[in-house]
Structure 1
Amino acid sequence: MSSLDRDFDALLNDPEIFQPCAQVTYVNSTRINSTTKFTILEKSDEDIPLICAAPPSQDAEWTLRLLLFPEVTPKGYPIPMSKFAWKAVNEHWGIGSALMYHYRRATGIAFARTVLHHDHTLQAIGLDFDTLGLTYLTITHDMANKDVRGLVFGLRADKLKDLKWRLESARDLGCHPLLAPLITTDMSVNDTRSAMITIAISLNKGIGPFTFKNVYGHRGYNEAPDLGALPFTLTELAIYANESGKRLKRLEAMLQFIDEQFASSTMNIDLNTHMKERMGHHITQVKEDARSIQPNIVEVQQNIQTGVQLVYALLAQKDNELNHRYGADMRVIAAVTLAFLPGTFMATLFSASFWDFNPNNARPRVSKWVWVYWITTFGLTAVVMILWRGHPTLATLRKRWQRRNHSEGVEKKEA
């Protein structure tokens, strides 16, 4: 038993790994007598073993069978079926532990394998999208019976509807095991493009076109944006844009993988020239769509960086304006204080008990202790000035003394 099998067997003993869905979508596309029959049925978890155990029609030229599972709320990538249904999928469709092991790890990769299953050679393909609305796809292809079967996990309601429509539109290409992987990758590429459009719209709503007049509420803007909250908004958009860039790189790697598999000898499917051209054109188109998104990501990232610089420049400008305004107010207060300071000082001085201006006195009387006032005043003033000027020097000396004591303590410990 391989290490993957042992690890997956350990996962199967986890009671929380199996979380059956109430409803599963079953897609069947079969070609008989040059006519393709396409059906979509809603099934339950109890129907999965019967679906997997049913062999393809003997008259079928080829068959495509897919089980589409909606997204589940719990985290940790649970398997959206019962343990009994999973055993049937593994036994009859050959979706082994190695494929599902990658799903549980959420590695964000694409891989292909050739496996032996009940004396039949199967081609196994797995795509781990690890994105919202679409999590994982795995396909096995029974080359002897021309039977393609697979699972798609984590489909949001809108993605499920889109996938069913795309599969029905390309029903004539259902014999190719790369059809479902290509369609799901194309959907993820479109999601990435939509994400970049959402970021651009949010950026425009948050700060508007990058001009100072717009930020200050002119040119059709009723209110200026909250500059204090904008840095957080721009940071969130930057993180979202970086995640979209990483997702796009994974999708480009998946498309390269699909293109290589399409060109490989192991994927030689009995397609006529027209169908091969359609399949190849679809792959090329999706790859070009993915490449066209990269400049948009770079542009959005540059716009976000420009927006951050603009916001901080505006915040600095506003701070300068406030400082200038408050500085002018302080100058007025200082001028008024200086105007009243001499009178205040003289009133305080002559109201002291050292002076006696009683009208009955022949002349003003001055206490012999008046020198105490002047000595105390000049002494306290000198102490304040010395402390003010000497505080930085004292702080420096204290730090030097602390460092010296620390060094002496270290030397004693080493000795």
Structure 2
Amino acid sequence: MASSGHFRWLTEDWRNESRYLEPNGRHVFVEISEKAGAITFTRDNKHDDDLPELCRESRARQGDSDWSLRLLLTSVKDSRNRNTLPFSLRTINALQEHWHLSDLCFYNQGQDLGACAMTFSPMACDFGVKGIYIIVPNLNFCECAMIHDPATRSTWAVVYNIPTWTVDTILQYLDHAKDIAHMPFLIPILLANAASGGLWDREYEAYGHFNTIRIAMKCDQYDRSAIKVDPRDLADMPRKLTASADNVATVVSFAANLERILKFLDMHFDDYHDKNVNSDVYSEVRDHLHWLQQLIEDVTVKNETVKSAGQAVVQMVYAVLQQRDNEINHQHGGDMRVIAIVTLMFLPGTFLSTWFSASFWNFDPKVNGPVASKWAIFHFGVSIAMTLAIFIAWRNDSLSRKKRRNKGSKSASQRKKPSRWTGRVIRKLKRTPTSQVEEGDGDSAVEDDENTVERESGPRPWDSLRQRIVPLAQRRKHATTTQGGEIAKIMRKAAMKKDNRTIVETNATTTP
């Protein structure tokens, strides 16, 4: 057995309940071996009842050839159901007993593990026999369990839950690669090759769908002068974009999981390499593995490109839809204005007709008198007057609102100009002690304030003319000598009174 079964309780669900086991009627058994330089390739369709004896008999013929590969391919009945095993309980026990598959190869039932790439120990206390277990996501999450015995150069592999078309593809691959079937990683690499091809096709399909949307939106070329999108395309565009984004996200997820599997195979490739194998074959197989890695990286880069471009197209689609909605709303607004005008035209007449509740016409030939009443002229006159009054009030209200919007408010400098002179002088005097205020300081503050006003609002015509006639230095000297600093004189007088009062109070306190 592959293990002692200490974790077998994890598989009690499908071991005890038959609903988790749905034996498939079609199993393909492939055996490739070489003996005395002759390579034999056989394939047989087996039933589930034949598999236990097949496992026992293939293990008995383990050492009768130079190398051998025994592969069991089992397709899936329902690709949507991943919670069942395509084997009977007898077949599973035979695979574990004779092919040494571990219990963990059957853990995934009911777990829905997206991808897996790991090693396991097939035989207890025998570290020479190695096993790997992988789950390939974009091949219907098929599972592959493989063991390799380097002593006898024998490989056993079971691939189950695989799509039917993939079974035929793997058989074609093996027919062409039967000369290198002794390579332990041949089956995982062939599965990765099929998955990479399918992933590339799906990426190409996703790009085709996205490119169709780009062409419909007229954004596939940068030199288009105008965008005229067919409204029929816009109606279904959000659904198409959502489906395209979902497809791209799925491809990105599959590419990431497949890249992880390829890195795992590349990392453990040397551990499973047979020293007796020709180095050319070894290099060729490993180069093919590296090429698959490059293919997956290319798919990843293309999907990132489609993802980035798709986000731009999504924004553009919703912008065009918003613009179209705005145009429709504008058109509806115009229609509503027409309806409002017509309603206003007939509303006064309707009101007056209801108010009077009188008949203005008399078409009875038996009644003598005028056909039209004199009140009809009054009715039409008042109706027309009220209609004109409503239109005039509506127009005046619109014009007043427009005038209020276009009317600019006063600037901050204009609002502060009346109080700037006194404010700056008072602030300067507050900062300067009273005893240190000399003659001409107030005038300098006034001139500084005038200079500030000139810098903010520009020189006035009269000031510019005065500057040409009398120089600035002479004006300052004249202002100092003639005016004598009136504000400074006032502040000095107040300071002198305060100093005299302070001296008197000091003398009064010092007298005994």
C-alpha deviation, 1:28, in angstroms: 1.1
Work out the CA distance in 2 between the residues paired with 1:48 and 1:22. Answer: 11
- Say whether residues 1:60 and 2:73 are aligned partners: no
CA contact (8 A) 2:137 2:258 kept: no
State whether residues 207 and 225 of structure 1, in contact with CA within 8 Å, keep that contact through their aligned partners in structure 2.
Answer: no
Q: Secondary structure at the match of 2:296?
A: helix
Matches within 5 A, 1:142-181: 142-181=149-188
Corresponding residue of 1:340: 346
CA displacement, residues 222-246 of structure 1 (integer Å, 9 cap, x when unaligned): xx54423321331222122112212
Looking at structure 2, the residues matched to 320 and 48 of structure 1 have their Cα atoms a distance apart, in angstroms, of 69
- Matched AA of 1:16: R
User: Structure 1 length as normaliser, TM-score?
Assistant: 0.77
Residue 407 of structure 2 is matched in structure 1 by none
Q: Does 1:253 align with 2:267?
A: no
Shift of residue 340, structure 1, vs aligned partner = 2.4
Work out which of the residue numbers 136, 149, 159 in structure 1 matches 2:143. 136
Question: 1:19–1:79: 8 Å Cα contact kept in structure 2?
Answer: yes
Alignment of 1:15-414 (within 5 A): 15-54=18-57, 55-56=60-61, 58-73=63-78, 75-102=81-108, 105-107=111-113, 108-116=115-123, 121-206=128-213, 208-211=215-218, 216-217=229-230, 224-264=231-271, 266-351=272-357
**Measured at CA, do residues 214 and 83 of structure 1 come closer, stay the same or move farther in structure 2, by a change above 3 Å?**
farther
TM-score normalised by length of structure 2: 0.63
- Aligned-residue offset at 1:33: 1.7
Give the % identical residues: 25
For residues 228 and 53 of structure 2, the distance between their equivalents in structure 1, rounded to whole angstroms, comes to 63
Q: Which residue identity is paired with 1:344?
A: T
1:276 to partner: Cα distance: 0.7
* Structure 2 CA distance for partners of 1:164 and 1:110, relative to 1, 3 Å: same
Measure how far apart 1:118 and its partner are.
Answer: 9.6
**Contact 1:134–1:156, Cα closer than 8 Å, also in 2:** no
Counterpart position of 1:395: none
Q: Is the 8 A contact 1:103 1:136 kept in 2?
A: no
Cα RMSD between the aligned structures? 2.7
Contact kept in structure 1, 2:85 and 2:109, CA below 8 Å: no
Is the Cα–Cα contact under 8 Å of residues 121 and 127 in structure 2 kept in the other structure?
no
Q: For residues 40-97 of structure 1, what are the alpha-carbon distances to aligned partners after superposition, in whole Å with 9 as ceiling and x for unaligned?
A: 2211112212221123364411110111111121624311111111111111100121
Give how far 1:102 is off. 4.2
Whether the aligned pair in 2 keeps the contact of 1:120 and 1:142 (CA below 8 Å) is no
The answer to whether the Cα contact below 8 Å between 2:116 and 2:135 also exists between their aligned partners in 1 is yes
> Is contact 2:129-2:147 (8 Å) kept?
yes
8 Å contact kept, 2:22–2:84: yes
Q: How far is 1:98 from its partner? A: 2.1
Alpha-carbon spacing, 1:121–1:88, altered in 2? closer, same or farther (3 Å): farther
Secondary structure at the residue paired with 1:116? coil
Cα deviation for residue 187 of structure 1 reads 1.5
Question: d(CA) in 2 for partners of 1:45 and 1:238?
Answer: 42
Offset of residue 7 of structure 1: 1.2
How far did 1:190 drift? Answer: 1.8
* C-alpha distance in structure 2 between counterparts of 1:346 and 1:209, whole Å: 57
Q: 2:123·2:129 contact (CA, 8 Å) conserved in 1?
A: yes
Q: Which amino acid is 1:272 matched to?
A: N
Aligned length, in residue pairs? 350
Secondary structure, aligned partner of 1:335: helix
Larger Rg: 2
Query: How big is the shift at 1:347?
Result: 2.4
SS in 2 for 1:175: coil
User: Which shifted more, 176-185 or 121-130?
Assistant: 121-130
| Aligned-pair CA distance for 1:202 | 2.3
Higher mean C-alpha deviation, range 328-337 or range 149-158:
328-337
- Mean Cα displacement is larger for which, 38-47 or 23-32? 38-47
The letter of the residue matching 2:288 is: H
Give the drift of 1:206: 4.8
Report deviation, 1:278: 1.4
Larger mean Cα displacement after TM superposition, 63-72 or 129-138: 129-138
Could you tell me how far 1:261 is from its partner in structure 2?
0.8
SS in 1 for 2:43: strand
Answer 1 or 2: which has greater strand percent.
1
- Kindly state the Cα deviation for residue 180 of structure 1 after the two structures are TM-superposed: 0.5
Distance in 1 between the 2:244 and 2:107 partners? 33
